[in-house]
């Protein structure tokens, strides 16, 4: 019988801070496709795979960290969880809170959340607060809130989040047989790049700054190496590239519109320990990469996710991609979350025709 995927905690329980007897809240996250993107091979000279995280239950990679964070909350007395978000974390927190029987409060930058993500938080019954400020303001508020009230913080400053998110690196190694040469990721609050680096390192038998225990040292390594970590930020929201916080971050990729990432140190460590880099791409490059992945590979991703593809294409143009290198790009969220941005500037005037075959054939110019 085909293996029924159990969600990331049960699949990787020996590498996570959970025991079989612990309560587990799962929506079946993880086990996402690793798609060989031959169109990107041609464009970059590498062997390029995309890890399609938009296939998770709420349409983004956040579900990997939410199963661990929310399951951990069930071991405490908290009945309410809270997060700041650019959209995907709130969608995921709201859904997993429902599954856990908890209440969820989300603090969002007003007017800067893609419609699909906002819809998710609403239909899952989260308590929404819109702040006249950016994500960094929201995170500051939610940190203060959770310090003073019996509310559990489920942003990635909660170490259980990164624990769950590191499983994506395990899946990549399990699928490819070893670590790739290079792993490319969009970087916003910088949790995910830190989590992947932890996952790759632990699978190779080392711990990192973000590791919570030394269990990796006691388990037989699965990978013989670790990849270079390449991080990509949006041009107007690139604190890790500039080396200082950005007060007014701005980008069409609202998911990564962040000026002062919480996991700053972990991300720098991932970059430096892996001999990788963090660069930035323009909004135009992001939207072009989104269109390329949709039209040439068949995967529809949101703009924030397209930063990784744009960064890889830029690196190839600058001659930074070694010929034949095995490269994995994480595409973090589903394109359906933000159709308005994807359709901006496209011709949407499709005039209705007579309901006949002949009119259809003419319209198709066959």
Task: Yes or no: say if 103 and 127 are a contact pair by the CB < 8 Å rule.
Answer: yes
Instruction: Measure the N-to-C terminal CA separation of the chain; round to a whole number of Å.
Output: 45
Judged by CB under 6 A, the number of residues near ligand F0G is 22
* Span from 71-79, 82-90, 94-102, 348-356 in contact with ligand F0G (CB under 6 A): 82-90
* Span from 22-30, 86-94, 237-245, 338-346 in contact with ligand F0G (CB under 6 A): 86-94
CA–CA separation, 204 vs 223, rounded Å? 5
Least distance from ligand F0G to the Cβ atom of residue 59, Å: 9
Q: Are strands 47-52 and 80-84 parallel, antiparallel or unpaired?
A: unpaired
Nearest by Cα to 68 from 165, 202, 142: 165
Map the footprint of ligand F0G across residues 295-314, applying CB under 6 A.
Answer: 302, 304-305
Please select the residue that binds ligand F0G; options are 255, 270, 306, 329, rule is CB under 6 A.
Answer: 255
CA–CA separation, 166 vs 280, rounded Å? 23
Contacts with ligand F0G, 268-297, as mask; x by CB under 6 A:
------------------------------
188: contact with ligand F0G by CB under 6 A: yes
CA–CA separation, 247 vs 211, rounded Å? 30
Q: Are strands 47-52 and 326-331 parallel, antiparallel or unpaired?
A: parallel
CA–CA separation, 246 vs 266, rounded Å? 18
Rank residues 47 and 169 by Cβ distance to ligand F0G and give the closer one: 169
DSSP state at residue 314: H
Least distance from ligand F0G to the Cβ atom of residue 361, Å: 41
85: contact with ligand F0G by CB under 6 A: yes
189: contact with ligand F0G by CB under 6 A: yes
Rank residues 47 and 341 by Cβ distance to ligand F0G and give the closer one: 341
Please select the residue that binds ligand F0G; options are 26, 32, 58, 89, rule is CB under 6 A.
Answer: 89
Q: Residue 239 to residues 236, 247, 311, 326: CA-CA distances in angstroms?
A: 9, 9, 16, 28
Rank residues 13 and 35 by Cβ distance to ligand F0G and give the closer one: 35
* Span from 35-43, 87-95, 207-215, 238-246 in contact with ligand F0G (CB under 6 A): 87-95
β-bridge mates for residue 52, sequence order: 331
Least distance from ligand F0G to the Cβ atom of residue 241, Å: 13
Rank residues 182 and 190 by Cβ distance to ligand F0G and give the closer one: 190
DSSP-assigned states of every residue in 48-76: EEEEEGGGSTTSBTHHHHHHHHHHHHTTS
Q: How far is CA 58 from the centre of its chain?
A: 12
Rank residues 66 and 226 by Cβ distance to ligand F0G and give the closer one: 66
82: contact with ligand F0G by CB under 6 A: no
Task: Yes or no: say if 160 and 65 are a contact pair by the CB < 8 Å rule.
Answer: yes
β-bridge mates for residue 327, sequence order: 48, 182
Task: Yes or no: say if 154 and 70 are a contact pair by the CB < 8 Å rule.
Answer: yes
Rank residues 87 and 227 by Cβ distance to ligand F0G and give the closer one: 87
55: contact with ligand F0G by CB under 6 A: no
Question: Where do contacts with ligand F0G occur on this chain (CB under 6 A)?
Answer: 60, 62, 85-89, 156, 186-192, 255-256, 302, 304-305, 332-333
């Amino acid at each position: 019988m085909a293996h029924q995927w159990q969600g990331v905690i049960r699949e990787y329980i020996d590498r996570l801070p959970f025991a079989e007897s612990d309560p587990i809240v799962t929506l079946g996250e993880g086990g996402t496709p690793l798609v060989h993107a031959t169109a990107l091979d041609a464009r970059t000279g590498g062997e390029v795979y995309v890890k399609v995280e938009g296939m998770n239950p709420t349409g983004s990679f956040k579900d990997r960290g939410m199963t661990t964070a929310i399951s951990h909350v069930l071991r405490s007395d908290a009945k309410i969880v809270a997060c700041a978000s650019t959209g995907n974390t709130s969608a995921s927190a709201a859904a997993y809170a429902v599954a856990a029987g908890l209440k969820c409060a989300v603090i969002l930058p007003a007017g800067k959340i893609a419609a699909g993500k906002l819809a998710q938080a609403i239909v899952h019954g989260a308590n929404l607060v819109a702040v006249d400020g950016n994500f960094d303001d929201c995170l500051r508020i939610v940190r203060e809130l959770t310090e003073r009230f019996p509310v559990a913080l489920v942003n990635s400053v909660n170490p259980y989040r990164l624990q769950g998110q590191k499983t994506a690196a395990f899946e990549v190694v399990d699928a490819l047989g070893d670590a790739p040469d290079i792993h490319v990721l969009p970087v916003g609050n910088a949790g995910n790049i830190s989590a992947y680096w932890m996952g790759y390192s632990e699978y190779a038998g080392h711990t990192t700054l973000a590791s919570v225990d030394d269990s990796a040292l006691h388990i037989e390594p699965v990978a013989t190496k670790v990849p270079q970590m390449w991080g990509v930020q949006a041009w107007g929201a690139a604190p890790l590239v500039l080396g200082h916080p950005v007060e007014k971050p701005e980008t069409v990729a609202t998911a990564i519109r962040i000026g002062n990432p919480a996991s700053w140190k972990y991300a720098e460590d991932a970059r430096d320990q892996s001999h990788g880099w963090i660069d930035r791409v323009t909004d135009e490059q992001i939207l072009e990469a989104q269109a390329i992945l949709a039209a040439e590979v068949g995967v529809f991703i949101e703009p924030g996710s397209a930063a990784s593809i744009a960064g890889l294409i830029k690196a190839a143009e600058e001659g930074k991609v070694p010929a034949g290198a095995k490269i994995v790009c994480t595409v973090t969220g589903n394109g359906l979350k933000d159709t308005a941005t994807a359709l901006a500037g496209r011709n949407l005037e499709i005039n209705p025709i007579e309901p006949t075959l002949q009119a259809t054939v003419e319209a198709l110019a066959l």
